Amino acid sequence: MDIVYDMNAQKWCFENGYRIYPIVNEGGYKLVIEYKGQKRTGQLVYSRDEWVDGVWKLYSQIYAKQKA
């Protein structure tokens, strides 16, 4: 997975109430997006090596959507 580790996107997300983190799921990890106390769990299951890139991709997507 080609991913850009965009620290500005992550910083913006943190400052605006977003947190993304993995939870252990059968067969791998799912990502949780928490926004101002509300949590949503994604449907994709990531491997131990993939979830970190998934987190960064989501931060970048949220940032791009909100800044558009």
Share the mean pLDDT of the chain: 93
Query: What mean pLDDT is predicted for residues 20-41?
Result: 96
> What percentage of the chain reaches a pLDDT higher than 90?
84
How many whole angstroms separate alpha carbon 1 and alpha carbon 57? 10
Q: pLDDT class for 30, splitting at 50, 70, 90? A: very high
Rounded to whole angstroms, the Cα distance separating 10 from 28 reads: 23
- pTM of the model as a whole: 0.88
How far apart (Å, rounded) are the C-alpha atoms in residues 55 and 49?
12
Q: Position of tokens 């926004």?
A: 35
**CA 13/CA 21 separation, integer angstroms:** 13
